[in-house]
Structure 1
Amino acid sequence: MQLVLLHVVIACGILLLGTGTAAQECASRANYTVRTQDELNTLTRNCTEIVGELGLVDWSGSLTLPNITRVGTITLYSGDVSSVDLPELEYFGGNLLLTDQPSLSKVILPKLEYIEGLYLDLVGDSPELYFPRLTNASSIHLRGNFSTQSFDSLRVVEKLLDICNGFSCSFYSRMDTSTSMSLSFPALERVGGFKVGGNVTTLSTPEVTTITCNNDECDWAALHLKLYGSSPIAVDFPKLSAMEGNFYIRGDIDSISLPALRDYTHEFIAVPYEPLNITLPVETGHKFLFSGNVSEINLPNLKSFSRIHVNSDLKIDCDEFWDDIKRTSGPLNESNRTEYFQCSVGMSVTYSGVLRVGSAVAVALLGMVVVGLV
C-alpha cells in the first residue's frame, strides 16, 4: 500500500513539473543568451525561474517574461528595448540596467517585491513605470520626463534612491522638462541616500526615519534635493531623526520641516529661490550655510555648532540672529566670532536671478563658498 502511494506522489510531481505550475528552473545551466522574443518564449515555456543571467543580444522591440517569477539578472548586450513587461516577476536578484535605450518608454513590474539594482533612462513625454509591490531594493536610479511616480510599498533602499525627471540633471542647470513630477513614498522608512531633481510639484515622505549615507553610491550629500517648479513646494520629513551625511536643498521651496531631527553633525546647506523662513529644531549641529532668498532663520534649540554662514539676498537682522544663537548656545567668544559666524545681506553667490540665467561667475563663487565650509 505504501509503494502504491509513493508512485502516486511521484506521478503528481512529474505532472506539476510538466505543466510548469510549480517553481522550476528553466534548464540545467545558469546563463542564457537570446536574440528574439520567440527564442525567449521557447526558453521559458515550461519554467518559472532563471537562476543566472538572461543576456539579450541585438534585441529589438518589447521584452516580456509571462511565466518567470524569479530571475538572477537581465543584461542587454546590444539592441534597443522599447518596453519591459514582467507580469509575474517577484524577485530580481541582480540589476536591470537600461540606460542608453532611445526607444524605452515603459517598464511594468506589477508583482516585483525585491530588486538589487534598478537603473533606467526612459524617453518620451510620458514614460510609464509601475512597481506597486516593490518593498526592498539596493539601488534605484530613474531618469525620464515623468509626471507621477508612486512607490506605494517601498520600505527600504539600502544605497541610493535617485530620481530626476529630465535628461539633463547637472548640478547647476535647470532640468529640461515638459512635465511636472509628483513623488510619493508612503511606506519608505530607511534609505542610504535620497536624491531628487527636476520639476517637482509634491514630495511626500511621511515615514522616513533614517538616511545613512555610508555606501559607495552615496555622493557628498545624503539628502540632495534640487527642486524646480511653477510654484514652491513643501519639504517635509516628519519622522526623520537620524541622518549620516550632508543635507543639501536648493530651488523652489515653500517650507522645510524636520521636527524630529535633533542631533545633526554634518553640513546643512539651503539655497531657496523664493523667500523662505527657515526654522530648524536641531540641538547639536555642525556647519550651516543659508544662502539665496532666505527671509528669516530660527534655530531655537541650538546648543552647539561649528560654523554658521548666512549670505541672503533679503534683509535679515544679523545682530538679532547672533543674539538668538548666544541665548541658546551659552557664552561665545566675541573676539573670534567671524571664525564661526558670518552673516551678510545683499546679492548672494547662489541665485537671485544670477544662477537662473547661468552666470559662470556665480557658479564659481558658490563653489568657493561651499568648499570653504568643508
Structure 2
Amino acid sequence: MGPAEWAATIFSLGSSEKAGYASRLSQCPIYTNGLLDQDIAKAGGVQQSFPVRGRSPPEFLLIVIQWFLSETRTVRAQYVSLARWVAIAPAASRVFDRRLASVATARLCRGSFKVTRSEDVKSLFQGCTHVRGDITITDTYSGALILPSLKTIDGKLDVQYITSRPGTGNSTATQVTSLELPDTQSIKNVAIANITTLKTISMPRLESVSHFAIYQHGFTTDTLDLRSLREASYFYLAGGFSSVNVDSLRNVSQFLDIYGPGVGAEREDTGKPLQLTFPSLVYAYRLLVEGRISKYAHPSIRNELTCHLEFLGRDHRDGGYSDDVMIRTKENPGSFSFPSLKNLTGSFSVYGPIKSLDVSSLQSSTVYMKLGTTSPLNLTLPLRKLTSITLYGTLESVKFPFLKDFESIDIHSTLPVGCKSFTTQMEEISQSLEYKARCRCSEPRSTPSLLGLIALCVIPVIAIAAAGYYCTKRKHEDMKYEEEKVAEQPLLSIEADEYEKVVGQR
C-alpha cells in the first residue's frame, strides 16, 4: 500500500477510530534524519493553527509517520515521540506538505536499462527516483549524459569501452562527453573506463558508493566532482585529472587505489601529473598510490588508519601488492603529507622522486617501513619506537631526533649521509635496550684527492728516470713494474663505506 492509498484509508475511518489509531502509534518511537531536522529548524519560527489544510491532528500525524516509515533510508539513533510532533506540527506543516507531494510522485523502477541515445533517458527514467538494476551506456551514445532526479541506484552504472564484451564481440567506444548525476545520493557500483571523449564527471550529491572505479589510463579528464562523497568500500582512480574534488571522503573500508598518468598505459601517456588532496579521510584499509603524482595529502588521517590486510588471496599468490600503504611515483618530485598519522599498524612503502614526506605526528611503528627516493631528500622522522625500517636512494640526511627504541635500521644512500655519526648515535640509544638491535648504514667512499693521486704517480716516474742512466735494462724494467703497481693502487673500484653495529643483550 502506497502513501496515498494509506492516507485514503486513514481518512475513511471515523473520528474516534482515527484518535485511537494515533494514540496507539504514540506509544512507538519513530526515526528522523538530519535533513528533516534542518527543515524543521528552518520552519520553527512559523506559527500556524490546526487544522492543517482541513486535516485533523491525528490525520496529519499519521501521514507524517507513514512518510517516515516508507521513505527514510538512512536513519540515526534519534527517537522522537508523537508528542513532539504535536508541538512542532503547526510550524512545520508547509515543509511536510512539500515533502508529501514529492513522495506522491516518487517511483521505484526495476530492471536492466540500456541507454543508446539521449532520448532514452526520459523514456526509461521518467518519474524514477530509485532504480533497482543496472544502467549500461552503449557504444552508440554520443554527447552529454545527464540522469536527473535519480536519488538511488541499486545496481551498476556502466560507462565503459571494452574491446571484447562477452557475447557481443568487438565494440566501439561510446562518445560520452560528460556524465552528470545532479541528484544521486547513493550508488552501488560505478564503472567508467577508456572513454576518450569524457571530460566531466559530476556527482555533487553522491554520499556513498560500494565500488567506484574510473579507468582512464592515457587520457585527461578535466573534472571529477565528488564533493559530497563520504564513504566507499572500494575506490579506484586511474588516469589524468585536471581537477579532483573528494574533500568529504572519510572512510574507505577496503582498498583506496590511485594511479596517476604513466602507470600501465597501453597507449602514449599524455596525462598531466595528478594532484590529490583528501582533507577528511580518517580510515583506509589499504592505500596504494602510483604514477606521476605531484601532490598527495591527508591532512586529517588519524590513528584510525589501521591496515590489517591478509595476503591469502590472488594479490599475494601472483606477486601483487603486499603493502597496506604503498606509494610509487615517477618523474616529478612529489610531496606526501600525513600530518595527523599517529600509529602505523600496516606496512608502509614509498618510492620515487620524493620532495618531502610529512609524518610529523607518527610516534610508533610496529611493522616494516621502506622508503626509497630518486631525488635528494633530507628526511626527519619523529618516531619514538620502530620495529624495522629501510631507507635508500639519494638521501642527504637522515634524522631520528626522538627515537628511544628500535630493532632494525638499514640505510643505503648514494650520497654522503654521515653514516659514522649516525651509527654512533644509534649505538648510544641501544645501550638501554634489553635485546639486540641492528643498525647498518652505507654511503659512497670518499674519493682520493686529485693532487694526491698526481703526486703519487709523478714522483716515482721522476725517480725512475734519474736512475735510468746508471741502472741496467733489467733494473729499469723492475722499477717500471713497481711504478705500475703503485699507480694502480688508488684506482681500485670505489665501493661504499659500510658501518654496522649489532649491540645490546637479550
User: What TM bracket, shorter-length normalisation?
Assistant: 0.7 to 0.9
The equivalent of 1:73 in structure 2 is 155
Write the distance in 1 (CA, Å) between the matches of 2:215 and 2:264: 12
The equivalent of 1:31 in structure 2 is 111
- TM superposition shift of 1:276: 1.3
- Judged with a 3 Å threshold, the aligned counterparts in structure 2 of structure 1 residues 51 and 215 are, in CA distance, closer, same or farther, namely farther
Question: Could you tell me which of 134, 158, 179 is aligned with 1:84?
Answer: 179
Report the AA paired with residue 123 of structure 2.
T
Question: Could you tell me which of 193, 201, 225 is aligned with 2:286?
Answer: 193
- TM superposition shift of 1:71: 0.7
Does the alignment pair 1:206 with 2:305? Answer: no
Does the alignment pair 1:49 with 2:130? Answer: yes
Report the structure, 1 or 2, having the larger helix content. 2
- TM superposition shift of 1:320: 1.4
Does the alignment pair 1:345 with 2:446? Answer: no
Q: If the length of structure 2 is used for normalisation, what is the TM-score? A: 0.58
Does the alignment pair 1:252 with 2:349? Answer: no
Larger Rg: 2
Give the secondary structure class of the aligned counterpart of 1:41. helix
The equivalent of 2:226 in structure 1 is 131
Give the secondary structure class of the aligned counterpart of 1:72. strand
- TM superposition shift of 1:21: 5.5
Number of residue pairs the alignment of both structures matches:
333
Write the distance in 2 (CA, Å) between the matches of 1:260 and 1:23: 52
- Judged with a 3 Å threshold, the aligned counterparts in structure 2 of structure 1 residues 177 and 328 are, in CA distance, closer, same or farther, namely farther
Unaligned runs of 5+ residues in structure 2 are 1-9, 14-54, 68-96, 166-170, 446-506
- TM superposition shift of 1:101: 3.8
Does the alignment pair 1:274 with 2:362? Answer: no
Where does 1:283-298 land on structure 2 (aligned, <5 Å)? 283-298=384-399
Write the distance in 2 (CA, Å) between the matches of 1:2 and 1:95: 42
Report the AA paired with residue 157 of structure 1.
V
Q: How many percent of aligned residue pairs carry the same amino acid? A: 23
- Judged with a 3 Å threshold, the aligned counterparts in structure 2 of structure 1 residues 260 and 105 are, in CA distance, closer, same or farther, namely same
Report the AA paired with residue 223 of structure 1.
V
- TM superposition shift of 1:39: 3.3
CA contact (8 A) 2:192 2:213 kept: yes
Write the distance in 2 (CA, Å) between the matches of 1:290 and 1:303: 18
The equivalent of 2:250 in structure 1 is 155
Write the distance in 2 (CA, Å) between the matches of 1:40 and 1:179: 33
* RMSD of aligned Cα (Å): 3.5
Q: If the length of structure 1 is used for normalisation, what is the TM-score? A: 0.77
Per chain length, whose mean CA-contact separation is higher, i.e. which structure has more relative contact order (CA < 8 Å, sep 6+)?
1
CA contact (8 A) 2:115 2:135 kept: no
CA contact (8 A) 2:224 2:243 kept: no
Write the distance in 2 (CA, Å) between the matches of 1:242 and 1:285: 11
Question: Could you tell me which of 403, 407, 410 is aligned with 1:302?
Answer: 403
Write the distance in 1 (CA, Å) between the matches of 2:150 and 2:339: 39
- Judged with a 3 Å threshold, the aligned counterparts in structure 2 of structure 1 residues 112 and 227 are, in CA distance, closer, same or farther, namely same
Name which of structure 1's ranges 112-121 and 304-313 shifts more when overlaid on structure 2. 304-313
Report the AA paired with residue 112 of structure 2.
Y
Unaligned runs of 5+ residues in structure 1 are 348-374
Write the distance in 1 (CA, Å) between the matches of 2:196 and 2:307: 32
